[in-house]
Structure 1
Amino acid sequence: MKRRLLETLQFVLTTGLMLIASSNVFGESLVSLANPLQGTDSVQDFSHGNLYPAIATPFPMNAWSAYTQPMPDSFYYQYQQTKFRGIRQTHQPSPWINEYAAFSFMPVTGELRVNDRDRASDFSHEQEQARPSYYQVYLQTHDATIEVTPTPRCASFKVTYGDSVGEDRPAYIVLDAFRGGSSVQILPDRKTVIGTVRNNSGGVPSNFANYFIVKFDQAFESHGTWTPDNIAEGQNEATGDHVGAYFQFNTSTSHEVTYQVASSFISHEQAEQNMRSEIGTDDFDTVLAKADAAWNEHLARITIEGGSHEQRRTFYSAMYRTMLFPHQFYEIDSAGTKKYYSPYDGKIHEGVMYTDSGLWDTFRALHPLLNLIAPETNAEILQGLLNAYNESGWLPAWASPGHRDCMIGNHAFSLFADAWVKGIRDFDAEAALKAIVHDANNEGPIRTIGRQGCDFYRELGYIPSSEISEATAKTLEFAYDDYCASVLARGLGEDEIADRFAADSTKWRNVLDTETGFVRGRNKDGSWAEHFSPDEWGGPFTEGSSWHWTWSVFHDIDGLIEALGGRDAFAKRLDSVFNAPPTVRTGSYGGLIHEMTEMIALNMGQYAHGNQPIQHMIYLYVHAGQPWKTQYHARQVMDRLYDSSPRGLCGDEDNGQTSAWYVFSALGLYPVTPGDTTYIMGSPLFERATVQLSNDKTFTVEAIENSHENVYVQSATLNGEPLDRAWLTHDEIVSGGTLRLQMSDVPNKMWASSPESRPAH
């Protein structure tokens, strides 16, 4: 007992110190600044983030979320709705990818209602609280409050019934194991239920399952199982396409019920182990304190000073979103060994696995951010990619939890190269290169793994749009990925392989029409596709038009500048993106898709920040010798397109990418070319931002006289020395020090504008 008391006291003291360390100069706990409801006011036709309020720990296996829409709607939390249907365990990385392994809990009072359409309750956002570590809502229909706080693989719940609940108004908790294959087994003498769910949206072996255990602190007054057509009072087991369970509680002694939930993709025994190791004897408040501490430690890796309260909330809401994906997919057994069920071969392996991430989105800024502030996590992610290759024969491109047929490119190549050049070597680089060579030269069983059209790419130097959809976009992305492959091969001393990939990385030139100044679709016979219009979406492009894709030459920006007529002409072309009207031709889509609608609504010309292909374009002004335009436009986007509200994003957030853009831009830096060590400088949002590096050093960006109007850099020093360039290297940052910028409301067109000041690419 004394030992337990000492352990508790030590934890409280440690947590208290962490809370102090993770509070900014305004005394605000960082976790309290992050808003999980940001970006949740979305519908299928117009996205303000397409997010749900994910209650989780950093890089969890599971998250928990309220849901307002009946199953199987993948847009399941919509802020404007007034009906609440439960809190579900969720793994959904995107509503376009959909859910897997989900189940939910819902308090119900009075008449027992089990289907999520029947049991729904009215609720109000005024009676809803959310932060990354905690969610609470009062359910008006049932006079009950439900709360949840997470661990990586478990959660603790608390339900409090109101005074109206009693003998004449029974209190229930309904467990819904959802459609798609489920089972429940109730053990009333142990106040426990054991369940299995198999619901998924594809990309898994036939033996895929999520095994969960629920342990209550109170005995059941009554219990039973249910299907959508029947309630079986007193029944202890049920198996079928869609089953659930319910539990009635006696509120005469207590109106509060708590319960703990653990799950596993390995077995029920492993779920028990997860509960022992992650919750043990902790009560609800202790689980919450530990979740708060975990978030405060991660969020404190970047601390900020200055700015408004709303800007601080927006920044830490973005930081929180950059630490949700990819999900851990491994567990730790009783001997402390990391193990995972493979969603690729259906077997149990030792090691690590991550999933639920689209690399087409996240290679751009999310993974470079992790390389800066969470390199140990990104190294594990890379080893997980190699484990996926070992078990499936292909590197993932979009995993959830296995290979999914979505998006384009071989951007695992980018992740390996970016980590390598930034000194992160805790992965098998030789195995990575072997996998890269394989995937670059073979078509996969689905379009998104390997290279669709690789024979055309090899023989013609491009993928013909007359033969394969999204061909020009694929050519551009494959050329960049070949650059990344060459970087890793060169680093490993494989010069012959590096030379071959470096030569292939120039193939972007084969889809650039220098007469029009745009990338275009090209036919198999070498002719340009007819009826070209730069604002036509689809066809040879992915989720965009030539206005967006022409800039997707991350690795050879100097070559692109030359091909478009030199620095002055290039800068004018960049200007034209903002000056052009926000018109769209629906092309092969046949109608407006939400990305088109969102670009039109932004009214920033052809700049479509709500989707990924053009998000780096603002920073290309630095390469053109006009860094003041980068400064202006970066601030415009941060100020106009981001806030912490449910409408606080301008398109799909996409696994942390759009948030990572904001985090980097608020620092005044952006990694235009992952796989290279250069960060392009923009306009920092805060007076001071300090990055806590993994080597125990810090890097600080100070913006003197910064304000809403003072967006322009007048001069700069790095560690006290004058700096006449608008870029830094990774080594300069991780060596620690201070970048000090003098800000003004008038651009200094001389600073960092000479040809000698331009970045390397």
Structure 2
Amino acid sequence: MVTPSKKMLGVLLLCPLWAGEAVALPSDYVNTLRGSNSGGGYSRGNTFPATAVPFGFNFWTPMTDANSTSWIYDYNRSAIQAFTISHMPSPWMGDRQTFQVMPQTGSVTADRASRGAAFSHANEIARAHYYSVRFNNGLQTEIAPTDHGASWRFTFPSTSSYVLFDTVDGKSGSLTIDQANGVVSGYTDHSTGWGPAPRMYFYARFSKAIAESQKVSGQRAVTSWVRFSTSPGEKVTMAIATSFLSVAQAQSNLEQEIGAKSFDTVKQEAQNAWNALLGKIEVEGATEDQKTILYSNLYRTFLYPNSAWENVGGTPRYASPYASGHPVKTGKVYVNNGFWDTYRTTWPFYSLLIPTRAGEMIDGFVNGYKDGGWVTRWSAPGYANIMVGTNSDVIFADAYLKGVRNFDVAAAYDSMLRNAATYSSDPARGRKGMDRSIFLGYTPQDRVGESTSWSLEGYLNDFGIGQLAQALGKTEDAQYFLNRSLNYVNLFSPSVGFFRGKNTNGTWRTSDADFKANRWGCEYTEGNAWHYSVLAPQDGQGLANLYQGRSGLANKLDAMFSAARDYDVGCYGGVIHEMKEAYDVNMGQYGHSNQPAHHTLYMYNYAGTPWRTQQRVRDVLNTQYQSGLGNGYGYLGDEDNGELSAWYLFSAMGFYPVSMGRPEYAVGAPYFTKMTVHLENGKDLVINAPNVSDTNRYIQGVSLNGQAYTRNYLPHSALANGGTLDFTMGASATNWGSGASDLPPSLTTGSAAAQPLADVAKGGIISASADNAASGEGSAQGFDDNSLTKWLAFQSTPWIRYQLAGGAKTVKMYTLTSANDFSGRDPRSWTLQASNDGSTWVTLDTRTGQDFPWRYQTRAFAVNNNTAYSQYRLQINETHGDSITQLAEIELLGR
């Protein structure tokens, strides 16, 4: 078989006869069982066979454990206990807003173990647009999805046929059966441990009259059944839809999306929807298994995030998961995303292939910020205290810089500022440790666990904020956050050659003698020092300089692959599944099984050795992804919201977004002889590598639109505007792309390590016109690197002065941080002055009409100054109306 052309695909999408076509459709290759041979102790994806429309409101899936809210489908089990509506983003986050359906024959059984129906995978079809299973007893269930609903078709083998309705133990709800009209409706309340979710309402109707119905006593809240009088082999359909607003809206959703459509029509429309997206990539030179991997990965990438809004009389409305009581709002909202995972691959993939939808989804998360004051770190659907980094920051910035504009950029930028510049007392909102990390230049391990990961992810996101600020003309913010993105140097330890955890007082978490690069946890999230050893792609040259130059960076990367693959359980205290999977990757300490490593191979481009990228990326593509046909395998490690899948897709195309926040991609090498990417603007990106193979994996030369191309990175515009990339491949490594002018750009130029501006107000003498030292709110608290303390002056126009230790220094920026108390006490207007003798003062900066929208907010101000001074004085000229002045922290940033 061959993959259809775009023109042919358009013809086939109109054809109702899917089976027996001479040309396979992309959706025919999707295997939703990939990754389902998993559990809490070992992950080959930790997925479940979700049938849905792209980015849909609901998932529809079989359950081999009808009382699980995590591992609901296990490939190794031989019986299905229910089919369910699901909204599960990950087994680790758990399911919510569920409702179960189980067809039965002969007699009804509510007990889950007893009602489980035996089946064989040979009688199971698991596609994105269609799920079907024929049980050993002859009963068949088929499901075809819409956005908010699904059409079900049951084929009953006997005259006594039932459909049982159920929910997970302990979950409340209500169910009403309108036997006369063949309708079942009600609601379930099913949240997760990450906070309450809106109530889910459902409305279902059957194609056949209900002969009998009953509520099952002594069971769960909604456990009920309906019986049909059927002839053997008779088909009964059920149309069902859900809503987070009301039963009436669930009924409306059903009418909008299904109405009087037949099961086959619904199935065809779902397949059309998937082919429209899956068909964006055509491939030549792929085996049948490779096509299964490719299109199944596309399915996973386009499965998340999920819409959570509904069409109410032509207006988009949603029950907000971010505000107390879930008030109904106007607009669109999206949920189900772990940004720590997905910022690396899926979001840049959306910006390239479906930029309009990307903007709509981003705006959906920005709406969450408007409702709840913060963007979630992990949407499930509301705020969850899990994983590190506020990675929506770099997602939003990257999309904007790649031309995505259809989202509220101003609100998105505000959300980024709040994440990066304010302390949050709620561990589920914002970045942890911001009361100290802003001023120390790193997150201290003695205050925040996994501190090195928090720090490194913070620098990446600060880079994204700086890039967006620059694009929006916010020059002071750009200067400040780009400077902060260089603070990775603060955590690099030359004595051990790794990034490592540092305490508040500046000491390392461990002594050099006790440091182990293969020790998991402690200052690292789901990894060790090796996994985080090159996590500074925003400044590849500066990173190389820490390793004594480009050759040193190349050697460090090589050492990662040659290192023993063993692990020390470290602060986890025992083996976690990520350790076992990383071991089984069998590539030294390179852990492709988890997200922190996914940029690593492309860092060879910064080292000037892109042939290593070409070599190793192909090794990963060959060994770390499986079709899952016949065994439920697919990945090593958790396939979080499409992230592992999108890594494969980018790498197979021959490029990768290694430095998020820059509109560019590092070049790897194509995996197939030809890939054609159909872009949203109607143009095609054609990637040719006619002689590529496992042997011919090295680039000999590249041309872009017929012109020789030597840089080992590609600008976004070269791809997004369509064009042709021609790769000449060979069996020997070459020096293509290795020249100094061929490397991706970095913040640092030259051979020295980065030297970010830092607070020079350390160890000096502080004085003020008004002090409140007796109450612990004196002038010293204004310079103590802690935004939870403050300088409180019982004046509306006080001054505070700092005499530097060690002589004069040049201050280029300064920061002021609002305190906890009334905003009326915040400075509104002020002057910064400098002196070398304490009597003659020079005005460096004057500000008026300034605001601090949030408590504990740090704002930065640039100073046009090249002179070194030994004393600096801040004169407050006006507050926001109060007679008392407060500031939590003052920094003088210089060198």
Say yes or no: TM over 0.5.
yes
Residues 253 and 603 (structure 1), Cα distance of their counterparts in 2 relative to 1, 3 Å cut: closer
For the pair shown, the structure with the greater C-alpha radius of gyration is: 2
Contact 2:423 2:434 in 1 (8 A): yes
Match of 1:635 among 583, 593, 618: 618
Aligned position for 1:546: 529
The residue type equivalent to 2:184 in the other structure is: V
Three-state SS of the structure 1 residue aligned to 2:340 is helix
Q: 5+ residue gaps in structure 2?
A: 1-8, 747-895
Aligned position for 1:515: 495
Contact 2:179 2:212 in 1 (8 A): no
1:186 aligns with 2:164: no
1:219 aligns with 2:199: no
The residue type equivalent to 2:546 in the other structure is: A
Deviation at 1:216, TM superposition (A): 0.5
The residue type equivalent to 1:661 in the other structure is: W
| Greater displacement, 454-463 / 92-101 | 454-463
What pairs with 1:450-461 in structure 2 (closer than 5 Å)? 450-461=430-441
1:271 aligns with 2:259: no
Aligned position for 1:92: 88
The residue type equivalent to 1:742 in the other structure is: T
- Separation (CA, whole Å) in 1 of partners of 2:154 and 2:301: 30
Deviation at 1:119, TM superposition (A): 0.8
Residues 317 and 19 (structure 1), Cα distance of their counterparts in 2 relative to 1, 3 Å cut: farther
Match of 1:118 among 111, 114, 117: 114
Aligned position for 2:334: 354
- Separation (CA, whole Å) in 2 of partners of 1:243 and 1:205: 20
Aligned position for 1:256: 235
**CA offsets 1:13-64 (integer angstroms, 9 cap, x no match):** 97745579x99x9821000011101111112111000000010110101011
Three-state SS of the structure 2 residue aligned to 1:548 is coil
Deviation at 1:285, TM superposition (A): 0.2
The residue type equivalent to 1:187 in the other structure is: D
Aligned position for 2:739: 754
Aligned position for 2:271: 292
- Separation (CA, whole Å) in 2 of partners of 1:731 and 1:287: 38
The alignment's TM-score, normalised by the length of structure 1, stands at: 0.93
Match of 1:565 among 543, 548, 553: 548
The residue type equivalent to 2:685 in the other structure is: F
Contact 1:55 1:135 in 2 (8 A): yes
Aligned position for 1:4: none
Deviation at 1:448, TM superposition (A): 3.8
Aligned position for 2:150: 155
- Separation (CA, whole Å) in 1 of partners of 2:15 and 2:534: 43
Aligned position for 2:401: 421
Contact 1:430 1:492 in 2 (8 A): no
Aligned position for 2:164: 174
What pairs with 1:463-542 in structure 2 (closer than 5 Å)? 463-530=443-510, 531-542=514-525
Aligned position for 2:871: none
Match of 1:590 among 563, 566, 573: 573
The residue type equivalent to 1:194 in the other structure is: S
Contact 2:445 2:501 in 1 (8 A): yes
Structure with the higher helix share, 1 or 2: 1
Aligned position for 1:233: none
Three-state SS of the structure 2 residue aligned to 1:648 is coil
Q: How many residues align?
A: 728
The residue type equivalent to 1:430 in the other structure is: A
Aligned position for 1:379: 359
Three-state SS of the structure 1 residue aligned to 2:487 is helix
The residue type equivalent to 1:589 in the other structure is: Y
Deviation at 1:317, TM superposition (A): 0.5
Three-state SS of the structure 1 residue aligned to 2:92 is coil
Three-state SS of the structure 1 residue aligned to 2:544 is helix
Aligned position for 2:711: 725
Contact 2:66 2:82 in 1 (8 A): no
Contact 1:204 1:343 in 2 (8 A): no
Residues 722 and 14 (structure 1), Cα distance of their counterparts in 2 relative to 1, 3 Å cut: closer
Contact 1:204 1:344 in 2 (8 A): no
The residue type equivalent to 1:413 in the other structure is: D
- Separation (CA, whole Å) in 2 of partners of 1:433 and 1:298: 30
Aligned position for 1:59: 55
- Separation (CA, whole Å) in 2 of partners of 1:589 and 1:19: 55
Three-state SS of the structure 2 residue aligned to 1:408 is coil
Deviation at 1:433, TM superposition (A): 1.6
Match of 2:316 among 332, 338, 341: 338
1:673 aligns with 2:659: yes
The residue type equivalent to 1:183 in the other structure is: S
Aligned position for 1:235: none
- Separation (CA, whole Å) in 1 of partners of 2:181 and 2:692: 61
The residue type equivalent to 1:547 in the other structure is: W
Three-state SS of the structure 1 residue aligned to 2:152 is strand
Aligned position for 1:236: none
What pairs with 1:360-439 in structure 2 (closer than 5 Å)? 360-439=340-419
1:738 aligns with 2:733: no
The residue type equivalent to 1:480 in the other structure is: L
**CA offsets 1:105-154 (integer angstroms, 9 cap, x no match):** 111122320132221111110111111100111122x4301010000110
Aligned position for 1:197: 188
Deviation at 1:667, TM superposition (A): 0.4
Contact 1:698 1:736 in 2 (8 A): yes
Structure with the greater relative contact order (CA < 8 A, sep ≥ 6): 1 or 2? 1
1:101 aligns with 2:87: no
**CA offsets 1:184-242 (integer angstroms, 9 cap, x no match):** 00000110000201111044457x20000110011112111125x35xxxxxxxxxx63
Deviation at 1:98, TM superposition (A): 0.2
Contact 2:52 2:129 in 1 (8 A): yes
Deviation at 1:704, TM superposition (A): 2.0
Residues 578 and 154 (structure 1), Cα distance of their counterparts in 2 relative to 1, 3 Å cut: same
Residues 122 and 620 (structure 1), Cα distance of their counterparts in 2 relative to 1, 3 Å cut: same
1:579 aligns with 2:562: yes
Match of 1:662 among 648, 659, 683: 648
1:701 aligns with 2:687: yes
| Greater displacement, 431-440 / 668-677 | 431-440
Deviation at 1:709, TM superposition (A): 2.2
Deviation at 1:253, TM superposition (A): 7.9
- Separation (CA, whole Å) in 1 of partners of 2:517 and 2:292: 38
- Separation (CA, whole Å) in 2 of partners of 1:650 and 1:216: 42
Three-state SS of the structure 2 residue aligned to 1:243 is coil
Aligned position for 1:244: 223
Three-state SS of the structure 2 residue aligned to 1:556 is helix
**CA offsets 1:623-681 (integer angstroms, 9 cap, x no match):** 11111110111111111010211212111000010000001011011000111011111
Over the matched positions of the two proteins, sequence identity in percent amounts to 36
- Separation (CA, whole Å) in 2 of partners of 1:47 and 1:59: 24
- Separation (CA, whole Å) in 2 of partners of 1:535 and 1:374: 39
The residue type equivalent to 1:184 in the other structure is: L
Three-state SS of the structure 1 residue aligned to 2:615 is helix
Three-state SS of the structure 1 residue aligned to 2:223 is strand
Residues 34 and 252 (structure 1), Cα distance of their counterparts in 2 relative to 1, 3 Å cut: closer
- Separation (CA, whole Å) in 2 of partners of 1:15 and 1:290: 14
- Separation (CA, whole Å) in 2 of partners of 1:315 and 1:652: 17
| Greater displacement, 113-122 / 532-541 | 113-122
**CA offsets 1:270-325 (integer angstroms, 9 cap, x no match):** 11111111111110000000001000001111111112111111100100000011
